[in-house]
Amino acid sequence: MSSKFPVSYQPICDIQFEGLHLIEASAGTGKTYTLSSLMVRIFLEKYLPNQVIATTFTRAAAAELKSRIRARLIEVQQYLEPLHTVLESDIYTRAAQESDPLKQHLLKTFAPRIAYACERLKLVIDQLDELFVGTLDSFSQKLLREFAFESGKIERAQITEDAKAYTRQLIHDVLREWIQSQPQHVIDALYSVGALKSVDHFVGMVESSLNFSSAHFKLPDMPEIELAQLQQWQQQAQQIDLSALAEYFNLDGAYYSHINGTSFRNNAFNKLFCESLPQLLKALADPQNIQVFDSYFSDARETVFKFLDKLDSQKIFKKCPAEVSDGFYQHPTILHIQKLCHSLKETQQQFEQLQVYLKAYLCIEVKQRLPRVLQQKGETTFAQQIKTLSEALKGEQGQRFAVFVQTRYPLILVDEFQDTNQDQDDMLATIWRHPQRYQKGCMIMVGDRKQAIYGFRGGDMLTFLNAYQDIMSKQGREYKLIHNHRSVKELVEVVDVLFQRQMDFGEQVLYDPIQAGSRPHPALIENGQLNPAPLRWLQLQDGNEQATQVAWKIQCLLNQAHLQQLYLDGDNHQVISEDDIAVLSRSHRQLDEVQYALERLGIRVNRPSKRSVFDSKIAQDVGALLTALLHPYDEAKLKRALLSRLFGFDLSQLVALEQSAEGLSHYIQQFDDIREMWRNQGFLVAWQRCLNQFEIWQQLVATQSKDNERAVVNLRHLTDILSQHSEHVQGIQNLYHWYLKQLHSPSDREWELEHKLSSEAGVQLMTIHQSKGLEFKIVFLLGANKAFSEMQKTLNFSTTEIQIPETGQTRTQRVVAIADKNFLQQTELDQHQQRAQAEQNRLWYVALTRASHRVYAVFEPEKGDKNKRSGLAFWKNQGDVFQHIHSIEDSLVLERPQALQTKQGAEQRLLTAQPLPEQRFYARGKTSFSYLAQHLKHKANRLDRLANADQQFDQAEDEFDLLTVESVAVSQPIAWIKQYFPKGTLAGNFLHEIFEQIDFQHPETWIEEIRRRFKNTYQGLWVALLEQYQQHFPEQENAEQQLYQWIALWLADVLQTPLNQGFQLQQLVVGQYLSECPFYLALSDRVLAMQRVQQLFEEYDIQMPEFIDAKSARYLNGSIDLVYFDGQRYHIADYKSNYLGENQADYQSTQIAESMSLSSYWLQAALYLVALHRYLSVKLQNYRIDQHLGGASYLYLRGMNGQADQGYFYWKPEDEFILRLDAILGYFSEDKLGKMV
């Protein structure tokens, strides 16, 4: 079925973001470039990042795709920004000349709206973190959490880290239950034939079947085995006398010469009657004759059954007299043997069928029980999570759920679509390909069916083909990328011609002709020739010389590079190095052989590690150290730890230590201290002390060894794992036992695989599956014509046609069965073989498209017809002999080449290390004056607390009262309410809030505000004030009204006090001032230079105690009590409830200035004035600091009585001071703005 739309070859320009779209991107055709370009169009033309989903196959690919999208967005933004002032007609002209299809399309589309496009791009870049780019597994997890109510899956399940353990446990339980339900004689027989194996034997098969959970699993009938005939066999076997046939099977017998020598070579007929048959008959004659099915007798049974086939077809003799052959065929002994062997063979087939049934039963039962077990544990797996999501999307409620999802995310882009399994595609189809809704959103599927090579993980070409049929039936659009940008033109051309020799890869996968792309490549120069013969065939004479020939050929290439005969062309010739070469193979065994050969030549090898860090020697040593830390007084455990590589003791050193006066007591004490630290302060603190105290890092590299870096990296890896896991377990014993469990059963989970080393370089060795998506300059393909054969085949994959009830359409469904040729039909076996062969063809397509400059295809000697149609020979041997101008049959290397060494290589290199960084990284945080002014450092945390917590300060937290007051002279006392009003932060907060809320020009409303504030928020403060009043005026009545009146008079004193140039706050009307004006002041993206700030104050003769460092501060936050305009300048005022004494003389300018120095209010005033300066420079047109910026008034409320020079201090620093402080604080933009674009 095909769409009514023609195939497009320019998806970047042609896609309209509605409906269904399928992009087939052949190898090297710029898929990621296309996807990032489409994302730019999506964001510019239709959707924002939080409305779009992008999924791909791996987390690494997802991270790369998101970074490419961001880079493409920034590139387009920078491209469009200069076009603001360009005429529309000139933009159209520029579009016609543009080679980039995305930029060309955007110029044509947005020529009249360039400014809009730029603003939209800025918005998208700011919101790009809201774009979801991840795997389908993580996306399903996101949907179940985000739409928990709509999906009905409110219980949140944790992804298990040990799914295989659940599988093993279920296999064990199901197998045990099944055994208990069977008769004992059947179980005995199954043990005898070897059908009942350990749980480990079934794990791989069951897990493979779980990858195809949506497929139909074929369950055979369980055979009924009657073992009563065993007694009959015993009697029959005892009656058989083989000596009666001696003339037929003895080498000198009268009739032996008539035996068919073709059927019975090398005296096989004689051995049959002298060895195999007597062996079986003896076993059958035994009372425990069930042992005849033991593996010990397997060769004898196989020989006898082959004889039985020839006996049934009467092919025992060559041409001979009839009486000779008839005498044998009709002989009573032969007839007894024939009957007995038929019965034996039939029973064996029943056992084999029962074994097949048991395997199928295990697969089906585990699949059914696994969801329940996971639910009971509150856990799930990624595969089960997809199933859960698919189930939630079924039914009427499921359709509503799907509508919610599609409305929230109207566009989804699915990368590597050819690798989706059936469960994943069902989920995607229900949401975005629903027959009634697919036009309301957009689904873009990207993949290449020729690169579908992950059948062992659940990927199935049948899933892709069914999805393709579904897309085309819904008028989906199809696009193809046909320009290879990865490889040089010569290699693209020769590979294209090769694949066109047989364009049908199998399973409806057809090859599309490819052309060389426009991406420039430096030519590979060899002996002065440009890209000579990029496809080379290495035909081996001996299959055992493959590894040697490949290693020698690589050495020859490196020697050519050393002689400047093999290099990449360019301004600076880049000679070919080990890192530019890759060796790919289907099997690890061949890679092992090549690695051995390369290392013997001294050529470096880089091979991806698939080894668990728990499987390393260092992991064992860490386990020993943890054991010793938990049991410091157990000398055996302590000695084991000391003998590890972590401590470096050998036996002689340990013996000497034990015989010394101190003995092991020093280590016992230290280990005991670390154990206590572990208990009290956590694992990481104790572990770091242990590593540092015993100099374990230094000990690991104390002696020269090639695995030093691996040991250090593994120890760091194990430290990280233990530290992270210690946050999720309680108690040191739980962490210790969890670690021992990992040591006992290392796995292949991604987080526990060994990390890559920084020194890893050299010829890259990997399987073809691992190489998918990668690019290498020169590639060697091992066993490129090796005959394909499945190793340890456990499952058979076939198909059947089913009818979909909802639509009535016919659909092909996958059928999975236990691989057994006696149980399956020939068509099922043939379908499986065709599927496997087609995937092998796709695998070799992937292999041949990894190189950018040259490929060496290594062919083994031909052995029969299989080699002629296997691997790359599938294409090379089609029709006539393959010949092409860019392909040659390369010659073998006849002798081991000697490595050419450079002079520099022979000299000892002087190693230099970079100096340790003097700067320290701090997380970006914010600070405030209240934090900076905490002068008593010994009371503060020595660490930079801003890196750990966001400090919150009350409005009056920076106010301090003088506990000891020396009155300078006898003077008028302050009012009672000012002297006895409670002191401290709470009282200061009350006064701040009162001044924030009252209207300065309407005193009649003040008492009501005071009453409301006390009643609602400050009842404790009111109680304290009332107690003071009753102590001093016990006989007075109406205390409440009197106190309210006194506080109102106090407020009037404050507002009537003449400030700078006689200005009074009561003159302010609404609109001329801002109360409690908060601000965030951006600082430079560097450590805040508090020492420079202190030096600046000292230059202006302002002395204050030392400030606290705030190294992580990148923002300064605060709140100015009052910003006001007096008609000429903008000023700030700060209310202070500080108690300086009981007389008015204590609140004169000199005393207030001393208090400001003690409390560092000069710093506060300066910071607030800088904030006001920045605010005015943005908000006030034609702002000038010398004309508009005023000063700071510090209002000591207890001393303000309405008289001039009482209770306040006005400070107007020089303009230069403010500007210099502003420069010291800096701006975020001066460091980062230029780097963000």
Q: What token pair was written down for 73?
A: 């967005």
Give, rounded to a whole angstrom, the gap between the first and last alpha carbons of the chain.
47
Residue 851 marked as a ligand binder: no
795, 817 contact by CB (below 8 A): yes
User: Is 395 assigned to a binding site?
Assistant: no
| 262 marked as part of a ligand binding site | no
Instruction: Report whether 989 contacts 1000 (CB < 8 A).
Output: no
Residue 1067 DSSP label: G
Whether 1134 is catalytic:
yes
Which of 834, 260, 849, 252 shows the shortest CA–CA distance to 509?
834
992 belongs to an annotated ligand binding site: yes
Residues facing 1073 on adjacent strands = 1124
Distance, CA of 582 to CA of 774 (rounded, Å): 10
Cα dihedral value 257, 259, 261, 265, nearest 10: -110
Residues 6+ apart with CB under 8 A from 968: 1145, 1146, 1151
Cα distance between residue 716 and residue 700, in whole Å: 12
Question: Could you give the CA distance from residue 618 to residue 644 in angstroms, rounded to a whole number?
Answer: 8
Q: Is 884 annotated as a binding residue?
A: no
Spot the catalytic one: 423, 448, 496, 1134.
1134
What is the SS3 assignment for 801-866? Answer: EEECCCCCCEEEEEEEEECCCCCCCHHHHHHHHHHHHHHHHHHHHHHHCCEEEEEEEEECCCCCCC
Where would I find the H helices in 1057-1148? 1090-1099
Kindly write down the DSSP assignment for every residue of 508-565, as one continuous string.
Answer: TEEPPP-EE-S-----EEETTEES--SEEEEE-SSGGGHHHHHHHHHHHHHHHHHTTS
Kindly calculate the radius of gyration of the chain based on its CA atoms and give it in whole angstroms.
43
Neighbour-count burial for 632-645, b at 16+ CB within 10 Å, e otherwise: beeeebbbbbbbbb
| 801 close to 812: Cβ distance less than 8 angstroms | yes
- Residue 504 annotated as lining a ligand binding site: no
Here the tokens at position 987 are 């009282």
Paired strand residues for 8: 479
- Give the residue from 603, 519, 610 showing the smallest Cα distance to 562: 603
For residues 620, 621, 627 and 628, what is the CA-based torsion angle, rounded to 10 degrees? 160
**1111 annotated binding-site participant:** no
Collapsing DSSP to helix, strand or coil, 230 comes out as: helix
Identify the DSSP state of 273: I
Composition of the chain by helix, strand, coil, percent to 5:
55, 15, 35
1199 is in an annotated binding site: no
181 is in an annotated binding site: no
480 forms bridges with which residues in the sheet? Answer: 24
Structure token pair of residue 1188: 């508009």
* CB-count exposure of residue 332 (10 Å: 0-12, 13-18, 19+): exposed
Residue 504, Cβ neighbours under 10 Å: how many? Answer: 11
651 phi, psi to nearest 5 deg: -60, -40
1134 is in an annotated binding site: yes
The backbone region for 377, taken as left when phi is positive above 0, alpha when psi lies in -120 to 50, beta otherwise, is alpha
1222 among the known binding-site residues? no
854 Cβ neighbours under 8 A, 6+ residues apart: 491, 524, 531, 534, 535, 536, 777, 778, 779
The bridge status of strand 524-526 relative to strand 566-568 is antiparallel
Q: CA–CA separation, 1151 vs 1138, rounded Å?
A: 12
Known binding residues are 25-32, 992, 1121, 1134
Known binding residues for Mg(2+) are 992, 1121, 1134
Known binding residues for ATP are 25-32
Instruction: Please identify every residue annotated as catalytic.
Output: 1134
